[in-house]
């Protein structure tokens, strides 16, 4: 991992919301991160994880999707089809967007906002992305336009069942006085939704992702906080004793089969069976940031120092597929439903390097 301490500290001062994530990324490689009470969490190394039988049908090869030597950091990936895939990222001053049309990747003209972190959409002509400094942008098939979110907080996630009700989450986990950011967008107006402190059992100051399926909707974030949207309210959804480190992203194939990943000093994996969450710790594996599922039995996951692999639900094990393609932290994974998966990686501090990976089954 390339980290320039002098430049990194400068970036930390400019980006308060990123300060926590950058320090945690660095700490994961060195000594640990901050626990729920702000105390250092020691890194645990219990040895390598069983890689399983590489000759199984699940064996895969990861390679560079395109040349990222001149790109900034890459944070999010989403597409509407195998021939319509978007990747977002950038630096502390300028967003970057790349598009795959089924033949090759090309840069798109990005709006004048700082790095974009996450995106979702409802078709090739209806795509939304969010990012640093309250950035929200929309693509209508011709160009990306900036929307006025009404906030300046860093935004980390966006999701909606349709474009008449989008949910956006964010916040500054390093600010002890901050409250998690939760926005509702109806296609015209942004509304900030207050989080009931009584439901915020982990005292989270930031939410990192929001996602749902089959009517079930969850927002997850700092210190293992999970909210579920029920009866028009965001309510605490306990993750168990091991939900003690940041949860970063989630995906599933049904409302009773969801996988949630996170962790800072060591990985955390939580599964949802339709009624409750069960959280596990993964010794010997650093934090996980990205997860995507096209099969109910397997989740593709990505995390710190370029880690990519698969979580096999039936055996409750992670099988690494990392092949030293990158050492930059992986932040997101997405699959096109046709057997191809993408993973994107980025540095939260100068030089803001990035990587775009593609997975192909052998």
pLDDT in tens, 266-289: 999 999 999 999 999 998 999 999
Q: How many CA atoms lie within 13 A of 36 on its CB side?
A: 15
The predicted structure's pLDDT at residue 129: 98
CA 99 from centroid of its chain's CA atoms? 19
The predicted structure's pLDDT at residue 58: 52
Is the entire prediction scored with pTM above 0.85? yes
Beta strand ranges found along 222-274 (DSSP E)? 226-230, 233-236, 247-254, 257-262, 267-272
Q: Look at the domain 5-32+62-361 and name its fold.
A: Methylamine Dehydrogenase; Chain H (2.130.10)
Peptide bond into 2 cis (omega under 30): no
The predicted structure's pLDDT at residue 89: 98
Widest CA span of the chain, in angstroms? 52
| pLDDT above 90 as % of the chain | 80
Domain spans in the chain, listed from the N-terminal domain onward = 5-32+62-361
Q: How confident is the model at residue 34 (pLDDT cuts 50, 70, 90)?
A: very low
The predicted structure's pLDDT at residue 60: 86
Q: How confident is the model at residue 10 (pLDDT cuts 50, 70, 90)?
A: very low
Q: Lowest mean pLDDT: which of 22-26, 140-144, 171-175, 215-219?
A: 22-26
- Taking each helix axis from N to C end, the angle separating 5-14 and 16-30, rounded to the nearest 10 degrees, works out to 150
**Alpha-carbon span 34 to 40, nearest angstrom:** 5
The predicted structure's pLDDT at residue 51: 37
The string of pLDDT tens digits covering residues 52-86 is 333 344 578 999 999 999 999 999 999 999 999 99
Residue 362 or 249, more confident: 249
Phi, psi of 59 (to 5 degrees): -55, 135
State the DSSP code for 233.
E
**Could you tell me which of 248, 23, 222, 15 has the C-alpha nearest to residue 133?**
15
pLDDT at 17 over 60: no
């Amino acid at each position: 991992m390339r980290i320039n301490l002098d430049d990194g500290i400068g970036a930390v001062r400019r980006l308060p919301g990123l300060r926590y994530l950058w320090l945690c990324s660095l700490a994961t490689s060195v000594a640990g991160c901050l626990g729920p009470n702000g105390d250092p969490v020691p890194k645990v190394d219990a040895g390598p994880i069983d890689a399983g039988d590489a000759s199984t049908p699940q064996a895969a090869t990861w390679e560079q999707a395109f040349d990222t030597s001149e790109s900034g950091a890459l944070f999010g990936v989403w597409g509407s089809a195998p021939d319509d895939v978007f990747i977002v990222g950038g630096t502390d001053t300028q967003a970057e967007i790349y598009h795959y049309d089924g033949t090759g990747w090309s840069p798109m003209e990005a709006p004048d906002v700082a790095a974009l972190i996450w995106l979702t959409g409802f078709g090739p002509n209806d795509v939304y992305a969010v990012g640093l400094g309250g950035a929200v942008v929309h693509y209508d098939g011709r160009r990306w336009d900036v929307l006025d979110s009404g906030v300046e907080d860093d935004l980390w996630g966006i999701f909606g069942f349709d474009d008449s009700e989008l949910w956006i989450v964010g916040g500054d986990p390093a600010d002890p006085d901050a409250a998690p950011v939760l926005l509702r967008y109806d296609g015209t107006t942004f509304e900030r939704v207050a989080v009931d402190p009584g439901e915020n059992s982990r005292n989270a100051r930031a939410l990192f992702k929001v996602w749902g399926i089959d009517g079930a909707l969850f927002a997850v974030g700092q210190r293992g906080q999970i909210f579920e949207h029920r009866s028009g309210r965001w309510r605490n959804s306990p993750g168990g004793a091991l939900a003690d480190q940041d949860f970063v992203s989630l995906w599933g194939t049904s409302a009773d089969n969801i996988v949630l990943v996170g962790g800072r000093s060591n990985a955390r994996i939580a599964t949802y069976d339709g009624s409750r969450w069960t959280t596990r710790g993964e010794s010997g594996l650093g934090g996980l940031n990205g997860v995507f599922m096209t099969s109910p039995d397997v989740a593709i996951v990505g995390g710190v120092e370029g880690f990519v692999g698969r979580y096999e639900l039936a055996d409750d094990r992670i099988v690494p597929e990392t092949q030293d393609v990158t050492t930059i932290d992986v932040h997101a994974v997405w699959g096109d439903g046709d057997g191809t998966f993408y993973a994107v990686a980025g540095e939260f501090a100068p030089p803001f390097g990035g990587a775009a990976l593609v997975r192909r089954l052998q």
